[in-house]
A and B are shown apart, each in its own frame.
Chain A
Amino acid sequence: MEHVLIVDDDVGLCELLAERLRADGFALEAVHDGNSGLERALSRDHALVVLDLMLPGLSGLDVLRSLRTQSQMPVLILTARGEDIDRILGLEIGADDYLPKPFNPRELIARIRAILRRTTRPEMPASPLIVGALRLDPALREAWLRESRLDLTSVEFALLETFLRNAGRIQSRDSLTETVLGRRAGPFDRAIDVHVSNLRKKLSAAQEGEWIKAVRGNGYLFAARGGDR
C-alpha cells in the first residue's frame, strides 16, 4: 500500500479520490489547507504529494517552494485548465508533473504510478555512469559534478540519467517525456522543456559551457564536457 498525500480544499473531491485510489492500492491522506499540507508533506510518511495550486491560506506554489528547500519528495500539481503560468511556475519551482483540473482519475493514477516507478526503482542495480566531469550513481540516486553533489529532483535525476546513457545522441522531446515522465507528451506540453531548463541551471553552476543543447526540430543533445581536465 503506497501512501499518497493530497492537499486540496475540496473536501468532497478528496473523499471520492480516497475511495477511488484505494481500489488501486493507494492509501490517500487528505488535508485541506496549505499550512497543514506543508506540515504533513515534511513528515516523510508519504511516497508522493498531490498538490492543488488553489489553496486557502498558504498557496500551493508557496507550499511547493517551502517543501523544495527541505525535501526532494515527488510532487504532482493540480492546476486549473487555462492557467498555464501557474503550471510552468510550478514545474520551475520543482514539481514533477502537473494535471489540469477537472481530470480523469485514471489519468491521475497513471501519473502517480509513473512518478513512483521513477523514484523507487530497485530492480536495476546499475553501475555508476561517468561522462566528462559528471558522475551519476543510480543505486545511491546521487549525481556529482566534479567534487560537488548536485541537488536534483527525481525527474531531473531521471532526465540526467537518460542524457548520460545517450550522450552525443539527439533525444526527441517526445521520447524524453515518455522515458522520464512515463507518459506521452500532449499537444503544447512544455513540461519536459521546463525540466530540461531546470537541469541546465543546476549544471551551469560550474561554468563549463553548455551541457545540453536544444536541437531544432524538437530535441535535445547532451554533450560531454570537462572530461579531460
Chain B
Amino acid sequence: MDQGGAGEWLLVCRAGRRSMKLIARSLFLRIFLWFWMTVILTGIALVLAFMLQRGPIPSRWNGMLNNTARYSGTIAIAEMDHGGVPAVSSYIEQLEREGHLQACLFDSSGSAIAGQHCAGFQDMARRVMGGKTPVLRMRFGIMRAAMMLTGSDGRGYIFATELPWGPRAAFGANHFSFLTEWGVALLVSGCICYLLTRYLTAPILRLREASQQLAAGNLSSRAAPEMARRRDELGELIGDFNGMASRIEQLVIGQRQLIGDISHELRSPLARLNVALDLVREGRSSDLAVDHMERDLECLDEMIGRLLTIARLDASSAPIQFTAVNLGDLISQIVRDAEFESRKREIQIRLSAGEEYWIEGNPELLHSAIENVIRNAIYYTQTGTSVEVRIESSGTPPALLVQLIVRDHGPGIPESELVHIFRPFYRVTESRDRQSGGAGLGLAIAERVVRLHHGTIRAENAAPHGLQVEIALPLVHE
C-alpha cells in the first residue's frame, strides 16, 4: 500500500473540504448562486408550465397541422403500397432520425404496422377509429396528430405522428443547437448575476479588510473612500465606518499623548522629591529641601486632582447634576478670590457685567473652568497691567447666549499654536515652568466643562498683545 499516496489523498480531501466550507461561508458565492438559481429556475418553470399545459389547441391552427400530418401520412401509405412494411418502417425511421419526430402507422383495426413508438399513439388511434375525424393532442410540449387515410387499393390506415409544433419544438429539434442556446442563456444570466453580486458584496469585502486592519492596530486604515460616494445604504455604511475609524484614531492618539504627557510631568516633581528626600536622609536637612518637598507634593496632588477631573469629564458616563446657575454671581465671586492674589503682583482685574445671567449647569465645574481661565490670564499678564473680564448676552431670542470674555496683557500665543492650547499639558514653549504647579491642565479642563454645557470656547490674540479667551454658553430663557 502506498502510504504517501494515501496521505496526499487525505490532504487533498481536507483541502477540498476547507474550500467547500469557504464557499459555503462566502457571502459572494451565496448571493451569486441564489441569484443564478432563481433566474434558472424561473426559466425552467416557465417552460414546464407551457409543456404541461393540456388546453385545447386553437382551431385556426387545425387545418395547417392536419395538412402537415396528412402530407407525411400520404407518403407513408405510398411507401406501404410500393414496398410493404419494410419501406414504411424505413420512412418512419428516417422521420425520427432527421426530423426528430416520432410516428406510427396502424391498420384500420388499430394494430400497429410500422414505427418504434406505437404504444404512445395507441389511444389516439383508438379515438380516430371511434370518431373517424383527425385527432390533435399536445403531449410533453409537442403536438401530435392522428388521422384516417386510405391507400390506393382502398385499404384504410391510421397514421399518427408528432408535429414540429409546440413549446418543445422551440428548443430545436437539434440537440447541439439546444445545448448552445441554453449555454448562452446560462452564460448571460450568470454574467448579470455575477455583476450584480459583485456590486452588492464588494463594499462588504472592503469594509471587512479595513476593519481587520483596524483590529490589528493599524488605526489609520479606512475602507475605500471611493465606495463612500455610492449613494446607497452600503455607501453610507462605509462612510459611517470611516467616520468611526477616524474618531477612534483621534481618541487613541489623544489618550496615548495624554499618558505620555502625564508620565513626563509626574517625573519632574518625583526627581525633585528624590533629591530632597536624600538631603533629609543624609541629615543635612535644610528648609530648602523641606519647602521643596512640600511644594512638590502639593503640585502632584493638584495635578492628580485635575487629571481625575479631566478623566471624569472625558468619560461622561456618570451623569452630572445640572441646576440653574447665575453666572454673574459665580464670576464675581471668582474675581474677588483672585484679586487677593493678583494684588501682590499689582494686577488689576476689571469686571464689567450687567444683569443676571442664568444658565443651566453644574456650579462646581463651571467655577473651576472659569477660575482656570481667569487665573491663567493673571498668570501670564505682565506685572502692573490689568485683566479684563466682561460678561454680555448675545444671540437672537430663540438661541440666546451669554458670553464671557477674559483678556490679559501678556505675551499672547503664536497664531499656529492657538488650536492646541486646550490640549492637556500643552505649553507654548517647551520650557516647563515647574513652579506653576498644574499649569497645562487648567484650560483643558475649561474646554471640557464648556463642551459639557453645550457651549464653545476659543482663544485669540488681542492687539497689540495679550490673549483673549471667549466662552459662550446658552442662556436659559423664561
Q: Which residues of A contact B (CB under 8 A)?
A: 9-13, 15-17, 19-20, 23, 33, 54-56, 80-82, 101-106
Q: Flag the segment in B14-22, B163-171, B227-235, B428-436 that touches A.
A: B428-436
Contact (Cβ within 8 A) B275 A13: yes
What would be 15 A-B contacts, judged by CB atoms less than 8 Å apart? A12-B295, A12-B435, A16-B276, A19-B279, A19-B286, A19-B288, A20-B278, A20-B279, A20-B282, A56-B429, A82-B263, A102-B267, A102-B271, A102-B274, A103-B271
Which residue of the partner chain B has the closest CB to A106?
A: B278
B272 within 8 A of A: yes
Q: How far is the CB of A164 from chain B (nearest CB, A)?
A: 39
By DSSP majority rule, is chain B's interface helix, strand, loop, or mixed?
helix
Closest 4 A-B residue pairs measured CB to CB? A102-B271, A56-B431, A16-B275, A102-B270
Q: Given that A13-B268, A23-B284 are contacting pairs, would A104 and B430 also be in contact in the complex, using a CB cutoff of 8 Å?
A: no
A80–B265 Cα distance when bound, in Å, is 11
Q: Which of A13, A15, A54, A104 contacts B278 (CB 8 A)?
A: A104
B477 within 8 A of A: no
Q: Given that A11-B434, A19-B289, A102-B274 are contacting pairs, would A80 and B267 also be in contact in the complex, using a CB cutoff of 8 Å?
A: yes
0/1 string, B275-305, CB within 8 A of A gives 1: 1101100101010110010011000000000
Which residue of the partner chain B has the closest CB to A33?
A: B431
Question: In the complex, given contacts A11-B434, A23-B284, A56-B432, what are 7 additional A-B residue pairs having Cβ atoms less than 8 angstroms apart?
Answer: A10-B434, A12-B272, A13-B275, A16-B292, A81-B267, A102-B271, A105-B278
A20–B278 Cα distance when bound, in Å, is 8
Contact (Cβ within 8 A) A10 B274: no
Chain B residues closer than 8 Å to A106, beta-carbon distance:
278
Chain A residues closer than 8 Å to B264, beta-carbon distance:
80
Q: How far is the CB of B262 from chain A (nearest CB, A)?
A: 13
Contact (Cβ within 8 A) A16 B431: no
Contact (Cβ within 8 A) A10 B271: yes
A9–B433 Cα distance when bound, in Å, is 8
Chain B residues closer than 8 Å to A56, beta-carbon distance:
429-432
CB-CB contacts below 8 Å: B346-361 with A: none
Which residue of the partner chain A has the closest CB to B271?
A: A102
Which residue of the partner chain A has the closest CB to B270?
A: A102
Chain A residues closer than 8 Å to B271, beta-carbon distance:
10, 13, 101-103
Which residue of the partner chain B has the closest CB to A32?
A: B431
A54–B268 Cα distance when bound, in Å, is 11
A81–B263 Cα distance when bound, in Å, is 9
A9, A102, A103 — most chain B CB neighbours (10 Å): A102
A152–B276 Cα distance when bound, in Å, is 37
Q: Which of B267, B270, B431, B434 contacts A12 (CB 8 A)?
A: B434
Chain A residues closer than 8 Å to B429, beta-carbon distance:
56
Which residue of the partner chain B has the closest CB to A56?
A: B431
Q: How far is the CB of B302 from chain A (nearest CB, A)?
A: 15
A20–B432 Cα distance when bound, in Å, is 23
Which residue of the partner chain B has the closest CB to A83?
A: B264
Chain B residues closer than 8 Å to A102, beta-carbon distance:
267, 270-271, 273-274
